[in-house]
Amino acid sequence: MMQALSQRIIDVFGLHPDGRALEYEGRWHSWAQLWALASRIGEVVGDHDTDGPPQVGILLRNTPTHVAALLGVLAAGATVVVVNPSRGDDRIRADLTALELPVLVGAPDDLAILVGSGLDGTQVAITTLEAAPRVTRTRRIPRPGIRPGVAVRMLTSGTTGAPKRVDLTYDMLARSVIGASPDEAVAPASPRRGVAIVNSPLVHIGGVFRVLLCIAQARPFVLLERFELTRWAEAVRTHRPKAVSLVPAALRTVLNSDLRREDLAGVRAVTSGTAPLSADDADAFAEKFGIPVLTSYAATEFGGGVAGWTLAEHRRHWRDKRGSVGRANPGAQLRVVADDGSVLGTDEPGLLEVKPAQLGPDSDWIRTTDVARIDADGFLWILGRADQAIIRGGFKIMPDDVRTALESHPAVQGAAVVGRPDGRLGETPVAMVELRRAVDTGDLTAFLRTRLSPYEIPTEITVVDAIPRTASGKADLQAVRSHFCPEAEHVG
């Protein structure tokens, strides 16, 4: 039986082949153009018999050809293995050597790094939607398959260490983008009129989720190579989407830009997840643009969100619950536990455990590394990451508290906070900031003294042109830590 997600992809591509499907760099591509390449990729995948569904590595970039490759593999019922082409040649070669993939898809320049590497398998070079992919086959050797039903082996953000892969099943993704009963759902009868904007990278779950959601809804979309203010604003003005999605770093860029309310006319809500967003930033955005910000809580491991705000609940409860990431999504369950696993009561902080609706009603509880509390009305607050807590002379510091305080300074565009080893205190907080306008670090320290406890004040604040970030827009804490502790292997 064909997977519900695979069938939905095939059904949607057949609705209106000549209709607009994807806009990229000002040019629209039709559903038929996308499907021509997607189906060809599917044929190449079908040529490989493995012990289980074939794993297909894709060096994913935000281009129409890579979208077509992603959808072609999923329509064929195989497994997409996400490979980040921006990690550096040596890392990519090492990654692919360990994976032993029977098929690898990518742009010619990305595949060129494998020349002379000794890697066997089929390489599929994709250039444009109109051009047939160039297929190069080396000698075939048996390749390991993967457990049935895995749709995407998705990279995590790699915020605190090297990215790892999480297996997302077809059922998980179908429940995320189609609904609770995807096998019984009926595909749209025709494509939607409204146009969405996809500005999240495809090497992150946010980008894959947004593309699959558009496909499941038969909604045309604008694909941006990356979030860039001018092109994003142009797409918003042109297509007037009712909702847009912005990670916190992008939201702060929009907030601190020269854009006006009329530039975002038509947008009724902004959704924001991936990383913590302060209530002050959410309120400032709403005040400037008249658009509420609906925060959410999700993780790669869940294959989608588990908690969030609806527009109706935001109108009723935001004033009293500001800073919360909302309530559990329909079908999801949340609880907070102590280190020993005992369930804690209302408003008691502890480790968050979830049962995502995407995993079905019989799934086990998944323990996260997030410190959280849940109030009597079921609203969830994320207090920080337990594995990032800084212990300074016995006092616990949550880096997000320090980061939020720094970012509340009008001159600070963004901040990242990590722990640095200290021979006497164990660790002390240090901060990296990027600025909108010049300010002395001494002034920042004085500003923090009015908002934080003395032990929470960073012992060093470094100003940089740009904070290093992961593909998802989060601060790359491993890179930040390496800046302050270049010889240390400490993981905070």
The token pair that represents 361 in the structure block? 């009603």
Do residues 103 and 120 lie in contact, with contact meaning Cβ atoms separated by under 8 Å? no
pLDDT in tens, 371-414: 999 999 999 999 888 888 898 988 889 899 999 999 999 999 99
Residue 465 has pLDDT above 90, yes or no: yes
* 242 found inside a domain: no
Model pLDDT for residues 85-97, shown as the tens digit of each residue? 988 888 899 899 8
pLDDT of 480 over the 90 cut: yes
Q: What is the pLDDT of residue 9?
A: 98
Query: For the segment 227-273, what is each residue's pLDDT rounded down to a tens digit?
Result: 999 999 999 999 999 999 998 889 989 999 999 999 999 999 999 98
Residue 130 has pLDDT above 70, yes or no: yes
Indicate whether 491 pLDDT > 60. Answer: no
Rounded to 10°, the helix 64-75/31-46 angle is 50
Here the tokens at position 487 are 């010889």
State the Cα–Cα distance between residues 264 and 285, nearest whole angstrom: 12
**Residue scoring higher pLDDT (275 or 349):** 349
- pLDDT confidence bin for 470, thresholds 50/70/90: confident
Contacts 24+ apart (CB under 8 A), 335-342: 335/365, 335/374, 336/372, 336/373, 336/374, 337/367
Where in the sequence is the domain holding 438, given as residue range(s)? 389-484
At 40-65, the pLDDT tens digits run 999 999 887 666 678 999 999 999 99
Per-residue pLDDT averaged across 314-326, rounded?
Answer: 96
In a domain, 416, yes or no: yes
Predicted confidence (pLDDT) at residue 144 exceeds the cutoff of 70: no
pTM score: 0.85
Question: Element (H or E) spanning 92, and its range?
Answer: helix 89-99
- For 159-172, what is each residue's pLDDT tens digit? 555 678 999 999 99
- Per the domain annotation, does 454 fall within a domain? yes
Residue 255 counted as domain residue: no
pLDDT at 125: 96
**CATH classification of the domain holding 113:** 3.40.50.12780
Confirm whether 291 is domain-assigned.
no
Q: What percent of the chain has pLDDT over 90?
A: 74
In a domain, 401, yes or no: yes
Which pLDDT belongs to residue 50?
Answer: 64
Using a 10 angstrom Cβ sphere, with 0-12 exposed, 13-18 middle and 19 or more buried, the burial of residue 429 is buried
Q: How far is CA 133 from the centre of its chain?
A: 28
Q: Cα separation of 126 and 85, whole Å?
A: 14
User: Which whole number is the average pLDDT over 460-474?
Assistant: 90
* Burial category of 234 from C-beta neighbours within 10 Å (exposed 0-12, middle 13-18, buried 19 and up): middle
- Please say which residue of 157, 177, 197 terminates a domain: 177
Q: How many angstroms separate the CA atoms of 326 and 324, rounded?
A: 5
Stretch (H or E) spanning 152: strand 150-155
CB neighbourhood size of 128 (10 A): 13
Q: What's the whole-number mean pLDDT along residues 23-29?
A: 97
Judge whether 141 lies within some domain: yes
Point out the domain boundary residue: 177, 201, 230. 177
Q: What is the spatial distance between Cα 404 and Cα 386, in angstroms, rounded to a whole number?
A: 17
Residue whose C-alpha is closest to residue 174's, from 150, 193, 197, 198: 150
Inter-residue contact 305 to 331 (CB < 8 Å): no
Percentage, residues of the chain above pLDDT 70: 95
What pLDDT sits at residue 162?
Answer: 64
For the chain, the straight-line distance linking the first and the last C-alpha, in angstroms and rounded, comes to 46
Is 67 a residue whose pLDDT tops 80?
A: yes
Q: What CATH number does the domain containing 471 carry? A: 3.30.300.30
The span from the CA of 265 to the CA of 291, in Å, is 9
Cα atoms found within 13 Å of the Cα of residue 425, Cβ hemisphere only: 17
DSSP 214-242: HHHTT--EEE-SS--HHHHHHHHHHH--S
Predicted confidence at residue 161, as pLDDT, reads 56
Judge contact between 189 and 321, C-beta under 8 A. no
Which residues does 297 contact at the CB level (< 8 Å), separation at least 6? Answer: 273, 305, 306, 307, 308, 325, 326, 380, 382
Mean pLDDT of the chain, nearest integer:
91
pLDDT at position 490 is 42
Domain contains 156: yes
Question: What's the pLDDT at 155?
Answer: 85
The pLDDT-based confidence of 351 (bands split at 50, 70, 90) is very high
Q: How far apart are alpha carbons 20 and 211 in whole angstroms? A: 15
| The domain boundary residue, chosen from 177, 192, 226 | 177
Q: Is the model more confident about 139 or about 452?
A: 452
- How would residue 473 be classed by pLDDT, with cut points 50, 70 and 90? confident
Confidence of residue 274 (pLDDT cuts 50, 70, 90): confident
pLDDT at 489 exceeding the cut of 50: no
Q: How confident is the model at residue 487 (pLDDT cuts 50, 70, 90)?
A: low
Least confident of 108-112, 153-157, 206-210: 153-157
User: Is residue 356 within a helix (H) or strand (E), and if so which, with residue range?
Assistant: none
Banded model confidence at residue 492, pLDDT cuts 50, 70, 90: very low
Question: What is the DSSP annotation of 156-167?
Answer: ---SSSS--EEE
Tally of structural domains, the chain: 2
What pLDDT, on a 0 to 100 scale, did the predictor assign at position 100? 86
Calculate mean pLDDT across residues 262-285. Answer: 92
Residue type, 295: T
Radius of gyration of the chain (CA): 23
